[in-house]
Chains A and B, each alone.
Chain A
Amino acid sequence: MTDTPLLDLSGLTKAYPGVIANDDVSLSIAPGEVHALLGENGAGKSTLVKMIYGLVKPDAGTMHMFGAPFTPSEPRAARASGVGMVFQHFSLFDALSVAENIALGMEDAPKMGALSQQIRDVSDTYGLPLAPDRVVGDLSAGERQRVEIIRCLLQQPKLLIMDEPTSVLTPQEVEILFKTLRKLSAEGTAILYISHKLEEIRALCDSATILRLGKVVGHCTPAETSARDMAEMMVGKLLQTPTRAGKSPGEVVLELANLSVSSPNAFGMPLRGISVEVRRGEVLGIGGVAGNGQDELLAALSGEMLSTPGMIRFEGQNIGLLGPTPRRAMGILSAPEERLGHAAAPDMSLTENAMLTAAAREGLESGGILNWGKARGFAEKIIETFDVRTPGPSNAARSLSGGNLQKFVIGREVLQRPDLLVVNQPTWGVDASAAASIRQSLLDLAQNGTALVVISQDLDELMEISDRFAALNEGRLSEPRPAQGLTVEEIGLMMGGAHGMEVAHV
Chain B
Amino acid sequence: MDLSAINPVLFVAGFLVAATPLIFAAIGELVVEKSGTLNLGVEGMMITGAICGFATAVETGSPILGFAAAALGGALLSLLFAFLTQITLANQVASGLALTLFGLGLSALLGQSYVGIKPPRLNDINFGPLADIPVIGPILLTHDIILYLGIALVAATWAVLKFTRAGLILRAVGESHDAAHALGYKVVRIRTLAIMFGGACAGIGGAYISLIRVPQWTEGMTAGVGWIALALVVFASWKPWRLLLGAYLFGGITQLQLNLQGAGVAIPVEYLAMSPYLITIIVLVILSRDKSAAPACLGRTFHASS
With an 8 A cutoff between CB atoms, is B183 at the interface? yes
Whole-angstrom distance between the alpha carbons of A104 and B171 in the complex? Answer: 10
Contact A76:B306 (CB < 8 A) given known A93-B176, A103-B168, A104-B168: no
Indicate which residue in B179, B180, B184, B296 contacts A76 across the interface (CB closer than 8 Å).
B184
Cβ contact within 8 Å between A103 and B176? no
Q: A100-B168, A109-B165 are contacts. A92–B306 as well, Cβ < 8 Å?
A: no
With contact pairs A104-B183, A105-B183 given, residues A96 and B171 touching in the complex (Cβ less than 8 Å): yes
Q: Which of B169, B172, B295 has the most chain A CB within a 10 Å cutoff?
A: B172
A91 touches B178 (CB 8 A): yes
The reply to whether A91 and B171 form a contact with Cβ atoms under 8 Å apart is no
Asked if B10 lies at the interface with its beta carbon under 8 angstroms from chain A, I say: no
Chain B contacts of A96 at CB under 8 A?
168, 171-172, 175
- Report Cα–Cα, A92/B176, bound state, in Å: 8
Question: Are B176 and A94 within 8 A (Cβ)?
Answer: yes
* CB <8 Å contact, B182 and A104: no
B289 interfacial contact with A, CB 8 Å: no
| Residues of chain B with a CB closer than 8 A to A76's CB | 184
A: number of interface residues (CB 8 Å): 20
The CA-CA distance from A96 to B167 in the complex, in Å, is 12
User: Which residues of the partner chain A approach B306 to less than 8 Å between Cβ atoms?
Assistant: 50, 55-56
A75 to chain B: which residues have CB within 8 Å?
182-184
Give Cα A100 to B180, complex, Å. 12
Chain A residue contacts of B178, Cβ below 8 A: 91
A93 proximity list for chain B (CB < 8 A) = 171-172, 175-176, 179-180
Cβ < 8 Å to A, chain B residues 170-209 = 171-172, 175-176, 178-180, 182-185
Q: Which residues of A contact B165 (CB under 8 A)?
A: 103, 109
Q: List which A32-73 residues lie within 8 A (CB) of chain B.
A: 50, 55-56
CA distance in complex: A277, B176 (Å): 41
For residue B156, CB closer than 8 A to chain A, the reply is: no
- Whether, in the assembled complex, B278 has its beta carbon less than 8 Å from a beta carbon of chain A, the answer is no
Which of A50, A79, A87, A266 interacts with B291 by CB under 8 Å?
Answer: A266
Q: Are B182 and A94 in contact (CB under 8 A)?
A: no
How distant is B126 from chain A, measured CB to nearest CB, in Å? 40
B residues in contact with A109, CB < 8 Å? 165
Indicate if the CB atoms of A95 and B175 lie closer than 8 Å: yes
B155 beta carbon closer than 8 Å to chain A: no
Closest to B295 in A: A95
Give chain A nearest CB distance to B305 CB in angstroms.
10
Q: A55-B182, A75-B182, A109-B165 are in contact. Are A104 and B172 (CB under 8 A)?
A: yes
User: Counting CB contacts under 8 A, is A74 at the interface?
Assistant: yes
Q: Does B293 contact A (CB under 8 A)?
A: yes
Q: Kindly state the separation between the CA atoms of A261 and B295 in the bound complex, as whole angstroms.
A: 29
Q: Which residues of B contact A87 (CB under 8 A)?
A: 182
Q: Which residues of chain B are near A50, meaning CB under 8 Å?
A: 306
Contacts of B183 in A (CB 8 A): 75, 91, 104-105
Q: Max chain B CB contacts within 10 Å: which of A92, A94, A104? A: A104
Count of chain B residues with Cβ under 8 Å from any Cβ of A? 19
Q: Which residues of A contact B180 (CB under 8 A)?
A: 93, 104
A216 to B168, CA, bound (A): 42
Query: Considering the complex, which residues of chain B in the window 276-306 have a beta carbon less than 8 Å from any beta carbon of chain A?
Result: 291, 293, 295-296, 306
Complex: how many Å from CA A56 to CA B171? 26
Chain A residues near B293 (CB-CB < 8 A): 95
Closest approach, in angstroms, between the C-beta of A57 and any C-beta of chain B? Answer: 9
Are A95's CB and B168's CB within 8 A? no
Q: Is the CB of B184 within 8 A of A94?
A: no
For B182, give the chain A residue with the smallest CB separation. A91
Structural contact, A94 and B172, CB atoms closer than 8 A = no
For A81-117 the 0/1 string (1 means CB < 8 A from B) is: 0000001000111111000100111000100000000
- Residue in A55, A95, A100, A104 whose CB lies within 8 Å of B296: A95
- Enumerate chain B residues within 8 angstroms of A103, measured Cβ to Cβ: 165, 168
Q: In the complex, what distance in Å separates the CA atom of A105 from the CA atom of B183?
A: 6
A residues in contact with B175, CB < 8 Å = 93-96
Q: How far is the CB of A266 from chain B (nearest CB, A)?
A: 6
Minimum distance in angstroms from B87 CB to a CB of chain A: 20
Complexed CA–CA distance, A266 and B290 (Å): 11
Q: Which residues of A contact B168 (CB under 8 A)?
A: 96, 100, 103-104
| Minimum distance in angstroms from B104 CB to a CB of chain A | 34
Nearest CB of A to B191, in Å: 16
Question: Does B182 contact A92, Cβ atoms closer than 8 Å?
Answer: no
- A 163-212 contacts with B by CB, 8 A: none
- Using a CB-CB cutoff of 8 Å, which residues 197-248 of chain A contact chain B? none
Q: Report the bound CA distance from A369 to B8 in whole Å.
A: 66
A383-412, CB under 8 A of B: which get 1 and which 0?
000000000000000000000000000000
| Highest count of chain B CB atoms <10 Å: which of A74, A105, A266 | A105
CA distance A79 to B169 in the complex (A): 18
Q: Which residues of A contact B172 (CB under 8 A)?
A: 93, 96, 100, 104
- Residues from chain A with a CB closer than 8 A to the CB of B182 are 55, 75, 87, 91
Chain B nearest CB, measured from A63 CB (Å): 17
What distance in Å separates the Cβ of A116 from its nearest Cβ neighbour in chain B? 14
CB-based contact B184/A92 at 8 Å: no
- How far apart sit A94 and B178, CA to CA, in the bound complex (Å)? 13
Q: Is the CB of A104 within 8 A of B169?
A: yes
Q: In the complex, what residues of B have CB within 8 A of residue A74's CB?
A: 184
B176: chain A residues at CB < 8 Å are: 91-94
Q: Are A92 and B296 in contact (CB under 8 A)?
A: no
Docked CA distance A103–B171 (Å): 13
Q: Which residues of A contact B296 (CB under 8 A)?
A: 94-95
A residues near B169, Cβ cutoff 8 Å? 104
Within the assembled complex, what's the spacing in Å between the Cα atoms of A91 and B180? 8
In this complex, which of A74, A75, A92, A95 has the most chain B Cβ atoms within 10 angstroms of its Cβ?
A: A95
User: Binary interface profile of A, 128-163, with partner B (CB < 8 Å = 1, else 0)?
Assistant: 000000000000000000000000000000000000
Nearest-neighbor residue (CB-CB) of A103 within chain B? B168
- Which of B169, B293, B306 has its CB near the most chain A CB atoms (within 10 A)? B306
A91 to B178, CA, bound (A): 8
A93 CA to B177 CA, complexed, in Å: 9
Other than the given A94-B175, A95-B295, 5 more pairs (CB < 8 A) read A55-B182, A75-B183, A91-B179, A105-B183, A109-B165
A-B contact pairs, 25 of them (CB 8 A): A55-B182, A55-B306, A56-B306, A74-B184, A75-B182, A75-B184, A91-B176, A92-B176, A93-B172, A93-B175, A93-B179, A93-B180, A95-B171, A95-B175, A95-B295, A96-B168, A96-B172, A96-B175, A100-B172, A104-B168, A104-B169, A104-B183, A105-B183, A109-B165, A266-B291
Chain A interface (Cβ < 8 Å from any Cβ of B): 50, 55-56, 74-76, 79, 87, 91-96, 100, 103-105, 109, 266
Closest 10 CB pairs of A and B: A91-B179, A76-B184, A93-B175, A75-B184, A91-B182, A95-B175, A56-B306, A104-B172, A74-B184, A93-B176
